[in-house]
Amino acid sequence: MNRPIEKIWLPEVLLDEMTVLATCAHPNETGGVLIGYDAGNGVVVTAIIGPGSKAIHGLRAFIPDYTYQDSEIERIYRESGRRHTYLGDWHSHPDGRATLSSRDKRTLRGIASHRPARVPAPIMGILADGDCWRLAVWRGFPRDMRARRFFSRYDRMALIQTRGDWMTLDVAGVSE
Ligand SMILES: [Zn+2]
């Protein structure tokens, strides 16, 4: 069964922010949150949030500063007129691959079952290989009996980098 590959639009400036954060934390992991909106035919990222000052960075582990992130998510949500919300997370794999680890998959399933977040199909960006960072974005569709999805599924998204910020996005079919 072939499913259409979902698109994700990401302004270059936001990717730059992520790679700067990842390079500063190298060789340790870092990460944060992806904010934006679902355009129906894909997802538009409008902001990223960094790790926060109380985050813990390890060679193979990263624990964000949740207090900082929650207040930033709330601030952006308010300032965007309640349109730009939490989409999922991103983090670096400094010497690793751009694929989801089993822990990453568990995290995605956890986000989906965490009701206050209201993200049934969260996304996760992996910035891999510290020598020349490459971003891969995945979307998790956890097992859901009511949707007759008997196994969790993790789809790689088609990443479309855009110049300028999301407000200048001019992509056919993208609307809020
Ligand atoms: Zn990971």
Report the 10 Å Cβ neighbour count for 124: 24
Could you read off the pLDDT of 141-173 as tens digits, one per residue?
A: 988 888 888 899 999 999 999 887 666 655 544
Q: Read off the pTM.
A: 0.89
Tokens of 152: 């969790």
Beta-strand (E) ranges in the chain?
Answer: 7-11, 31-38, 42-49, 56-57, 62-63, 85-93, 123-128, 134-141, 153-156, 158-162
Distance 175 CA to ligand 1 centre (A): 31
Distance 176 CA to ligand 1 centre (A): 30
Could you read off the pLDDT of 17-65 as tens digits, one per residue?
A: 999 999 999 999 999 999 999 988 889 999 999 999 999 999 988 999 9
Domains in the chain: ranges and CATH = 7-165 (3.40.140.10)
Distance 100 CA to ligand 1 centre (A): 6
d(CA 69, CA 117): 13
Instruction: Select from 120, 103, 119, 123 the least CA-distant residue to 6.
Output: 123
Distance 13 CA to ligand 1 centre (A): 22
Q: What is the pLDDT of residue 147?
A: 83
Distance 76 CA to ligand 1 centre (A): 25
Could you read off the pLDDT of 74-113 as tens digits, one per residue?
A: 999 999 999 999 999 999 999 889 999 999 999 999 988 8
Exposure letters 41-61 (e unless 16+ CB within 10 A, then b): ebbbbbbbbbbbeebebeeee
Q: What is the pLDDT of residue 3?
A: 75
Distance 79 CA to ligand 1 centre (A): 30
Task: Give yes or no for a contact between 62 and 31, defined as CB atoms under 8 angstroms apart.
Answer: yes
Distance 101 CA to ligand 1 centre (A): 5
Q: Which residues pair with 10 in a beta bridge?
A: 161
